Amino acid sequence: MLIKETATRLGFDYCGIAKAEKLTEDAYRLEKWLQQGMHGNMQYMENHFDLRIDPSRLVPGAKSVITLLQNYYPEQKQQKGTPRISKYAYGKDYHEVIREKLKTLLSELREKIGDIQGRGFVDSAPVLERSWAQKSGAGWIGRNGNLITKQSGSFFFIATLIVDIELAYDDPFAKDFCGSCRKCIDACPTNAILPDKTINGSQCISYFTIELKEAMIPAEMKGRFDNWAFGCDTCQDVCPWNRFSKTTTETQFNPLPEILNLTTSEWEKMSEEQFRKIFRHSPLSRTKFKGIQRNLEFLKER
C-alpha cells in the first residue's frame, strides 16, 4: 500500500490503519481515571474530553486513523553514576523530528492520491494514541501503560495521522502478552503501577521530574527516585519484551554527549546560558533550567 511504503521510506518503523470512530470504552476509562485524580496537577488532561474520544472533532469527516511508530532505543547508554535521563530524551526533541515526517507524509499522499484533509499529531493534541495503535494492529497496552510490540518491545514514539478518506484497515491487536508478569509493578520505585493496568500518573517519577511545576517535590518522595533526574524508564527496562529492542536508525535521536557523560557536579555547575545552548532542541528544555536544578537538588536530599 502506498501509505505504508511511504511511511517506511520516511523512516517509520510501523504503519497501521484503523477506522475512525468514537472510542467509547476508552472514554469511560479516561473519565474514571480523571475522577480519581490520577492525573495530579496535569489539568490539561481534563480539557477537550470530546476531542480525545472522537477523531471527527479533530478532522471533520474523519474516516481513517493512521498510526506510525518511530523507534528511539539508543545504542549508547549513560555512564554509571550520572543523573539518569529517560532514553526518549537522549537526542533531538521528537516533536520536531516526527512533526516534519508527518508533514512530508501528508504532502506526498496529497500529491499521489488527491485532495486529502488531515492532521498529524505526535503527543501534541488530545489524541488517545495508544488506543489507536492497538486498533491498528501495532501491539497491546501493557501493565505499565506503554504500547508493547512483540517484535521490538516498547521504546517507540507514537504518531497519529487522521485523514478524511477511507482506507484498507488493519485488524486490531487482540491479545495481551503480559500474562501473569508483574516485573514492572514490582520494580516501580514509587508504586505508580497498579495491578489492574491503571497508572497513577500523580505518583510517577516522570510526573514529578517533568510535569510538576512547583518549586518543591513532595518530601515523601525523598530517596525513591533511583537517581532519575528527567523521566523514568524503570518499567520499560525491566519489561521482558524489551530484550527484543533494536537500536534506532534515526540519527537525530543519537544521544547528546552531555547526557551520556555529565556527572552530578558538572550538571550542578552548568549555567542557565549553557543549559539553553546545549538543550535548545532537546526534550529537557521542557523543564527549563530551574526544573532540572530542582530535580538534581532533590536527588541529593536523602
Q: What is the mean pLDDT of each run of 10 residues along the chain (302 residues)?
A: 94 98 79 72 63 86 98 96 96 97 96 93 82 97 96 97 97 96 98 91 94 92 96 98 97 97 94 97 96 95 62
CA-CA-CA-CA torsion sign (226, 232, 234, 235): positive
Q: Return the beta strands (E) in the chain as ranges.
A: 14-19, 64-71, 84-85, 118-121, 140-141, 147-148, 156-163, 228-230
Give residue 223's pLDDT: 94
Residues tagged active-site? 123
HSE at residue 204, side-chain half, CA atoms within 13 A, is: 27
What pLDDT score does 24 carry?
79
Task: Look at residue 109 in the predicted model and tell me its pLDDT.
Answer: 94
Q: Residue 233 has what pLDDT?
A: 98
pTM value is 0.93
With 0-12 / 13-18 / 19 or more C-beta atoms within 10 angstroms meaning exposed / middle / buried, residue 300 is: exposed
CA distance 5 to 57: 28
Task: Report d(CA 216, CA 246) in Å as an integer.
Answer: 37
- Grid cell at residue 193: 503501577
Buried b (16+ CB within 10 A) or exposed e, 131-154: bbbbbbbbbbbbbbbbbbbeebbb
- Count of C-beta atoms within a 10 Å radius of residue 188: 23
- Cell triple for 162: 487522521
Task: Give the per-residue pLDDT at 239.
Answer: 98
pLDDT at 138: 98
Sign of CA dihedral 33, 39, 40, 42: negative
Residue among 72, 94, 100, 104 at smallest CA distance from 3 = 104
What pLDDT is attached to residue 39?
Answer: 64
d(C-alpha 293, C-alpha 223), whole Å: 17
In this prediction, residue 49 carries a pLDDT of 62
Res 270: pLDDT: 96
- Residue 158's nearest CA partner among 234, 240, 94 is 94
Q: What is the pLDDT of residue 45?
A: 61
| Half-sphere exposure in the Cβ direction for 35 (13 Å, CA) | 6
Q: What pLDDT is attached to residue 3?
A: 95
Rounded-to-integer distance, Cα 78 and Cα 267, Å: 14
CA distances from 136 to 62, 63, 66, 245, 260 (A): 15, 14, 8, 20, 35
In this prediction, residue 123 carries a pLDDT of 83
